Structure 1
Amino acid sequence: MLLRPAALLSAQQPSAADQLSQLLGPVVEAAVLRALAAERAVQPQCAADAGQRALVRLEERLDQLGREVAELQGALAAGRAAGTERSGDGEDGGQQPPETPPEEQSESGPACKRQPLPLAADSSPHEPPERRACARSCLQLRNQGGPQHDGVYWFTGMPVPVLCDFSHDGGGWTLLLTAISKHGWDPFSVRARNKNSPSLTENYSILEYGNVIRNLTEGGRFAYRIEAKAEQGRQRWGGIWFAPRHYSFVDETGAQTDNRRILLIHTPVIRAGGHLHPT
Structure 2
Amino acid sequence: MLVKSSFACQLISLSLLLTPAAGQQSSIGQQQCTEPTERTSLLQELRALRDRFDEVINDVEYRQETNCEQHPLALPSNKTHLQEPVVRACARSCLQLRDQGGDPQDGVYWFTGMPVPMLCDFSHDGGGWTLLLTAVSRSGWDLLSVLRRSELTPSLEDNYSIMWHADAIRDLGRGDRFAYRIETQAETGRQRWGGVWLAPRQYSFVDETGSQTNVRIVRKFDRWTYKHLGIEKRMPWLNSPEDDKAVLTTNAFFDDHWWGTMVTNPEATENPYRHSPWIEPESVHSGTVLYWVREEVL
Same fold, judged at TM 0.5 (above): yes
**Where do residues 233-252 of structure 1 align in structure 2 (5 Å cutoff)?**
234=189, 236-252=192-208
Which residue matches 1:193? 149
Larger radius of gyration: 1
User: What SS class does the counterpart of residue 226 from structure 1 fall into?
Assistant: strand
For the 8 Å contact 1:226–1:273, the answer to whether it is kept is yes
Gaps of 5+ in 1: 1-107
How far apart, in 2, do the equivalents of 1:261 and 1:199 lie?
26
1:120 pairs with 2:76: yes
Change (3 A) 1:257 1:109: closer
Residue in 2 aligned with 1:20?
Answer: none
Aligned-residue RMSD, C-alpha:
2.3
Q: How far did 1:139 drift?
A: 0.2
Q: Any idea what SS the aligned residue of 1:213 has? A: helix
Kindly provide the CA deviation profile for residues 12-70 of structure 1, in whole angstroms up to 9, marking residues without a partner as x: xxxxxxxxxxxxxxxxxxxxxxxxxxxxxxxxxxxxxxxxxxxxxxxxxxxxxxxxxxx
Tell me the CA shift for residue 253 of structure 1.
Answer: 1.1
Deviation, structure 1 residue 277? 0.8
1:147 positional shift: 1.9
SS of residue matched to 1:212: helix
Asked whether 1:111 is paired with 2:128, we answer no
Q: Partner letter of residue 274 of structure 1?
A: Y
Does structure 1 residue 165 correspond to structure 2 residue 121? yes
Q: Quick one: distance in 1 between partners of 2:92 and 2:110?
A: 9
- The yes-or-no answer on 1:276 pairing with 2:293 is yes
Summarize the Cα distance change of 1:109–1:249 in structure 2 as closer, same or farther, 3 Å threshold: closer
| Residue identity matched to 1:273 | L
Instruction: List gaps (5 residues or longer) in structure 2.
Output: 1-63, 224-286
User: 1:208 pairs with 143, 156, 164, which one?
Assistant: 164
d(CA) in 1 for partners of 2:154 and 2:198? 24
Give TM-score, length-normalised by structure 1: 0.57
**Rounded Cα–Cα distance in structure 1 between residues aligned with 2:293 and 2:104:** 17
Equivalence for 1:177? 133
Deviation at 1:276, TM superposition (A): 0.5
The answer for the alignment partner of 1:130 in structure 2 is 86
Spell out, residue by residue over 1:211-236, the C-alpha distance to the aligned partner (whole angstroms, 9 max, x if none).
010011210000000010077x5582
SS of alignment partner, residue 123 of structure 1: coil
* From 162, 178, 182, the counterpart of 1:222: 178
For the Cα contact (< 8 Å) 2:135–2:288, is it kept in 1? no
2:160, 2:146 → 1: CA distance? 8
Give the Cα–Cα distance (whole angstroms) in 1 for the partners of residues 164 and 114 of structure 2: 12
Change (3 A) 1:230 1:204: closer
Contact 1:110–1:131 (Cα < 8 Å) also in 2: no
CA distance in 2, matches of 1:174, 1:213: 9
CA distance in 2, matches of 1:222, 1:140: 14
In the alignment, residue 196 of structure 1 is paired with which amino acid? L
Code of the aligned partner of 1:257? T
Correspondence for 1:59: none
The TM-score normalised by the length of structure 2 is 0.54
- Structure 1 217/259 Cα, relative in aligned 2: closer, same or farther at 3 Å? same
Label 1:253 to 1:155 Cα distance change in 2 as closer, same or farther (>3 A): same
Give the deviation of 1:162 after TM superposition.
0.3
8 A Cα contact 2:195 2:221, kept in partner: yes
Which structure 1 residue ranges, 4+ long, deviate > 3 Å from structure 2? none
Give, in whole Å, the separation in 1 of the partners of 2:295 and 2:79: 28
1:256 aligned residue: 212
- The CA deviation at 1:271 is 7.9
Instruction: State the distance in 2 between where 1:111 and 1:135 align.
Output: 12
Q: Identity across aligned pairs (percent)?
A: 56
Displacement of 1:123: 2.6
Name 2:34's counterpart in structure 1: none
1:210 counterpart SS class: helix
Deviation of 1:272 (Å): 4.8
Whole-Å separation in 1 of the counterparts to 2:101 and 2:124: 16
Tell me the alpha carbon deviations over residues 96-137 of structure 1, each in whole angstroms, 9 at most, x when there is no partner.
xxxxxxxxxxxx887211010000111341121111000010
Distance in 2 between the 1:230 and 1:193 partners? 19
Contact preservation (8 Å) 1:110, 1:130: no
Structure with the larger RCO, 1 or 2 (CA within 8 Å, 6+ apart): 2
